[in-house]
Chain A
Amino acid sequence: MLQQQYALDMLSKYGMVGCKPISVPLDQNGKLSANAGEVLEDAIMYKKIVGSLIYMTITRPDLNYTIGLESLFMQVPRKSHLDGVRHTLCYVSATIDYGLFYEASTKLQVHGYTYADWVGSISDRRSTSGFMFSFGSAVVMWSSKK
């Protein structure tokens, strides 16, 4: 399953076709915080981009956490958040032909993984928990919740 055409349309809509390829969805060192940097004038644009990205998570569990984090700032988006979203769009552009692959020959077995990041949020010290279940060769359900 893949959303290549959707991703292409999204990237061209936001003028991000042919941007620098990046191999992770968000910068590991630059943590996004709720009240750092100046407030964006065009909040609607930020909301539109994040909204489009949320639809991408249907076949892209690797984007799930990042987009969840970015959508937390939809109320008052700041410049650093927009940079984060641009970073994510560059990642999408670099991995445009990625999707979920369910292999026919894999033994059908359910496996689960569960993990929690204890007080990982820098703005309010809440934890994030995540789990996923795979059936056969790829995931069938997943969650990332703060």
Chain B
Amino acid sequence: MAACEVAWLRKLLGDLGLHVDRQVVIYCDNLSSIQLARNLVFHAWMKHIEVHYHFIREKVLASEIDLVYVSIEDQVADIFTKVLGVEKHRRFCSMLGVMELELSLRGSVEMSSSTRADTHDVP
């Protein structure tokens, strides 16, 4: 599902005049699905996977997407699937770019050092 969105986002940014020439990195915490997307080898027990799931594999082969492993501790998308604890919720909020903003109509917004710390601090 996310792979289709990459294709869409890439096209949209292209239309806006921002060409994404590099591979889009998608972080995933399921090692077996990463292996499956990278590797052409098929096992008999993978037969049940339907054709449209192979879409992402094609994208990986075409070097448009790179799947990278990320541990559950840094998996920001977790915030969209369950209710998290306080500490994790705060950390993921700042990784999402959701932070306290001071309302200023003139000039720029200064980031405080605490919120800046883990913005995109990904291994």
Contacts and interface: CB of A to CB of B under 8 A. Distances in A.
Contact of A132 (B76, B102, B109, B119): B76
Interface string B95-121: 011111111000011010000000110
Contacts of B70: 113
A62 interface: yes
Interface residues of B, number: 47
B9 A133 contact: yes
A137 interface: yes
B77 A111 contact: no
B10 to A, nearest CB: 8
Contact of B79 (A28, A61, A114, A120): A61
Contacts of B97: 100-102, 134, 137-139
B80 interface: yes
A131 B101 contact: no
Contacts of A104: 108
Contacts of A93: none
A72 interface: no
Interface in B77-104: 77-86, 89-90, 92-93, 96-103
A113 B79 CA distance: 11
A141 B9 contact: yes
A131 B120 CA distance: 16
A97 interface: yes
Interface in A16-68: 23-28, 60-62, 64-66
Contacts of A132: 76-77, 80, 96
Contacts of A95: 100
Interface of A: 2, 4, 23-28, 60-62, 64-66, 95, 97-104, 106, 108-117, 120, 128-135, 137-144
19 contacts: A23-B90, A24-B86, A62-B79, A97-B103, A99-B99, A99-B101, A101-B97, A102-B97, A104-B108, A113-B70, A115-B28, A117-B82, A130-B81, A131-B2, A131-B77, A133-B6, A134-B96, A135-B13, A144-B80
Interface of B: 1-2, 5-6, 9-10, 13, 18, 20, 22, 24-29, 70, 75-86, 89-90, 92-93, 96-103, 108-109, 111, 119-120, 122
